[in-house]
Amino acid sequence: MNGRILLSMKTHNLVDRLQPDWVCTDCGRQWGLWWDGREYVGPATHCATFHIGKCGVCGEKKSVTEARDYGYLKEGWHEPLVE
């Protein structure tokens, strides 16, 4: 490599940039494209890494992972729910 140091850096595509950085399980199940109500409809084998952080949807501090681990979030995730 001729003495060059290569830096590994995570690149984000447009979809990633339009989603929150971290999503909790409750919000992921509510807004994730891989969830249909209470039923998981995503890939049969998928691995996600969680840590304690602030959810970018509900704002609570809890176990979170990336939005892509829920198949990304449906449109309207950032709008307050009207019941």
Provide the pLDDT for residue 1: 42
Q: Is 73 helix (H, G, I), strand (E, B) or coil?
A: strand
Report which of residues 67 and 14 the model is more confident about: 67
Q: Confidence class of residue 2 from pLDDT cuts 50, 70 and 90?
A: very low
Q: What is the pTM of this model?
A: 0.75
Residue 83 within a domain: no
Residue 38 within a domain: yes
Residue 33 within a domain: yes
Q: Cα–Cα distance between 77 and 65 in angstroms, integer?
A: 16
* Residue-wise pLDDT tens digits, 21-71: 999 999 999 999 999 988 999 999 999 999 999 999 999 999 999 999 999
Residue 49 within a domain: no
Host domain of residue 70? 28-44+66-74
